[in-house]
Structure 1
Amino acid sequence: MFTETSGTVVITGASTGIGEACALLLDQLGFSVFAGVRQEVHAQKLKEKASPRLTPIFLDVTDADAIAFAVETVTNASNGKLAGLVNNAGIAIPGPLELLPIADFQHQIQVNLTGQLAVTQAFLGLLRQGQGRIVNMGSIAGRSAAPFLGAYNASKFALEAITDVMRLELRPWGISVSIIEPGTIATPIWDKSLTQADIDKENLSESAQNLYGQAMNAVRKQVGILASKGISADIVAQAVVHALTAKHPKTRYLVGQDAKIAAMLKHLLPDRVYDRLVLHSMGL
Structure 2
Amino acid sequence: MATTTQAQRGAVLLTGAAGGIGAATIRRLDALGFQVFAGVRKSSDGERLQRDISVRITPVLLDITDDASIAQAAEIVTRAVGETGLVGLVNNAGIIVEGPVELVPIEEVRKQFEVNVIGHIAVTQAFLPLLRKARGRIINIGAPTGLVSFPYLGMLSASKAALESVTDALRSELRSFGISVSLIEPGAMQTEIFQKSAASSQQVRQQLSGELLQLYAPALAAVAKTSASQQLENPDVVVAAIVQALTSRSPKTRYFAGRGTRMIAVLRLLPDRARDGLLLRALGIANTQPVS
Q: TM-score range by the shorter chain?
A: over 0.9
CA contact (8 A) 1:33 1:55 kept: yes
Counterpart selection for 1:119 from 120, 123, 126: 123
Instruction: Calculate the aligned-residue CA RMSD, in Å.
Output: 1.4
Shift, 1:170, TM fit: 0.5
CA contact (8 A) 1:5 1:29 kept: no
Answering whether residue 274 of structure 2 is matched by residue 283 of structure 1, we say no
Paired residue type of 1:151: M
| Structure label with greater radius of gyration | 2
Answering whether residue 29 of structure 2 is matched by residue 26 of structure 1, we say yes
Shift, 1:5, TM fit: 7.1
CA contact (8 A) 1:219 1:282 kept: yes
Could you tell me the percent identity over the aligned residues? 47
**2-structure distance, mates of 1:218, 1:5:** 52
Shift, 1:44, TM fit: 2.0
CA contact (8 A) 1:31 1:53 kept: no
State how 1:144-183 maps to structure 2 within 5 Å.
Answer: 144-183=148-187
Runs of 4+ in 1 over 4 A off after TM superposition: none
Answering whether residue 62 of structure 2 is matched by residue 59 of structure 1, we say yes
Deviations 1:169-214 (A, max 9, x none): 0111010000000111111110001112222222221221221122
Q: TM-score, normalized by length of structure 1? A: 0.94
What's the counterpart of residue 244 of structure 1? 246
What's the counterpart of residue 219 of structure 1? 223
Counterpart selection for 1:190 from 179, 188, 194: 194
**2-structure distance, mates of 1:281, 1:41:** 40
What's the counterpart of residue 290 of structure 2? none
Measured at CA, do residues 139 and 105 of structure 1 come closer, stay the same or move farther in structure 2, by a change above 3 Å?
A: same
**2-structure distance, mates of 1:283, 1:196:** 22
Answering whether residue 99 of structure 2 is matched by residue 98 of structure 1, we say no
Shifted more, 91-100 versus 131-140: the winner is 91-100
Deviations 1:210-260 (A, max 9, x none): 21122112112222322xx21111110110011111000000001111212
Counterpart selection for 1:43 from 25, 42, 46: 46
What's the counterpart of residue 83 of structure 1? 87
Paired residue type of 1:146: F
**1-structure distance, mates of 2:38, 2:48:** 12
CA contact (8 A) 2:11 2:87 kept: yes
What's the counterpart of residue 235 of structure 1? 237
CA contact (8 A) 1:139 1:182 kept: yes
Q: Which runs of 5+ in 1 are unaligned?
A: none
State how 1:258-277 maps to structure 2 within 5 Å.
Answer: 258-267=260-269, 269-277=270-278
**1-structure distance, mates of 2:196, 2:226:** 15
CA contact (8 A) 2:64 2:119 kept: yes
Shift, 1:129, TM fit: 0.4
CA contact (8 A) 1:194 1:220 kept: no
